[in-house]
Structure 1
Amino acid sequence: MTQVKNILVPIDFSTSSYQVFELGHCLAKHNGANLHLIHVIDPVYYEEQKPRISDTEFIHKIRFENAKEELRKFKFEVPHSEVEIIEALIEGIPHKEILSYSRQNDIDMIVIASHGWTNLSHMLMGSIADKIMRQSDVPVICVKSNVSVIKSRGMRRHSFAENWVG
């Protein structure tokens, strides 16, 4: 079995993101792996808002800075952690950027929330999570919303179901 050295956790700052972060951190700690946190700023968001041209750069800068600060907060959730936490803030189409980051950074596993901030059942089951599960070259753990992660007892064993059908 391949040793897990790099775990990727996509973050959208929803409540589910904190649950997924906890599980990713627990897995990283158990395996002695690095934890990569990624947030992708979707440019479609700006197009839907239809801001004036002069506002676009300002909105982008503010959103980027806010996302950067929010991403940093995750590190403070686990002070004095033995796990190395690597942050990435990227602009682009979320599922494409997450998959690209995974390939470029030798990611061994992705842990993602089944639903992000929209929480609109399968319509967005997440469409991002669904696309990542279908297109990823590495195992993906998809975490259902509102599932508690056992932190206090630590992780002694884990098993994963695998789909060998392509």
Structure 2
Amino acid sequence: MYESVLFPTDGSPGSETAMEHVADLASLCDATVHVLYVADRENEPSHLVMRDDDTGFSGMVKPDEIERQSGMTETGDDVMGRAEAAGEQLVDGVAEWLAERGLDAVTSVRRGTPYRAIVDYAADNGIDLVVMPTHGRRGVDRFLLGSVTEKVVRTADAPVLTVRLDDEEAASDETATEG
């Protein structure tokens, strides 16, 4: 029924819980698992630094070459590059874990808005099913927080299986993402 399953992961405890479900499902269906990490462009730090100059100007400006070379500031590309490198390690680790269970995996790291990158990846790769964790929020919190999973559920063409965390996992997951 499912030949290709997309597992977007951020390495959170919720993702680890969903990963077990992905492995079970892929084993039952003999499916290939696509493991995706998205370096979140929306949370990219500012490219600007505060500087006073001789003219009395005080404000946010692009870092000059001396600041960039000295390490006094990081550009968004530096931060995103590190995020992508960490993402590569994460997806490679998940692929290795899946391989130990006899499953085939394809890995990818993308840069962008997470829900959009997930939906686009699914469409571009003919994904049959997306599996993601959900915090199980209710009421106003669900609408105000607009989780990535919620947006994928609403916009993906492929079916989306959500794995609800129990209360202990959800608290652990929220603590991990706040720190």
Checking the alignment, whether the CA contact within 8 Å between 1:111 and 1:142 is kept in structure 2 is yes
- 2:24 aligned partner: 26
Q: 1:37 aligned to 2:19?
A: no
> CA deviation digits over 1:119-160, x for unaligned, max 9?
xx5243x5211111111112111111248xxxxxxxxxxxxx
Higher-Rg member (1/2): 2
Q: Secondary structure at the match of 1:77?
A: helix
Given the two structures, how large is their TM-score scaled by the length of structure 2? 0.70
Q: Secondary structure at the match of 2:106?
A: strand
Greater share of strand residues, 1 or 2? 2
Structure 2 residue corresponding to 1:106, chosen from 126, 132, 150 = 126
- 1:15 aligned partner: 13
Given the two structures, how large is their TM-score scaled by the length of structure 1? 0.75
1:78 Cα offset (Å): 3.8
Amino acid at match of 2:133: A
Structure 1: any 5+ residue segments left out of the alignment?
A: 116-120, 148-166
Checking the alignment, whether the CA contact within 8 Å between 2:39 and 2:111 is kept in structure 1 is yes
C-alpha separation between the residues in 1 aligned to 2:88 and 2:15?
15
Checking the alignment, whether the CA contact within 8 Å between 2:7 and 2:132 is kept in structure 1 is yes
Does the C-alpha gap of structure 1 residues 86 and 146 become closer, same or farther in structure 2, counting only changes over 3 Å? farther
Structure 1 residue corresponding to 2:97, chosen from 49, 61, 77 = 77
Superposed, 1:1-166 pairs within 5 Å as: 3-47=1-45, 52=49, 53=63, 54=68, 55-56=74-75, 57-115=77-135, 122=142, 123-124=144-145, 127-146=147-166
Greater share of helix residues, 1 or 2? 2
C-alpha separation between the residues in 2 aligned to 1:7 and 1:104?
13
Checking the alignment, whether the CA contact within 8 Å between 2:98 and 2:104 is kept in structure 1 is no
1:22 Cα offset (Å): 1.1
Checking the alignment, whether the CA contact within 8 Å between 2:11 and 2:90 is kept in structure 1 is yes
Q: Secondary structure at the match of 2:14?
A: helix
Higher mean C-alpha displacement, 98-107 vs 61-70: 61-70
Amino acid at match of 1:70: L
Amino acid at match of 1:13: G
Structure 1 stretches of 4+ with a deviation exceeding 3 A read 49-54
C-alpha separation between the residues in 1 aligned to 2:99 and 2:126?
25
**Alignment RMSD:** 2.2
C-alpha separation between the residues in 2 aligned to 1:72 and 1:31?
22
- 1:152 aligned partner: none
Checking the alignment, whether the CA contact within 8 Å between 1:16 and 1:146 is kept in structure 2 is no
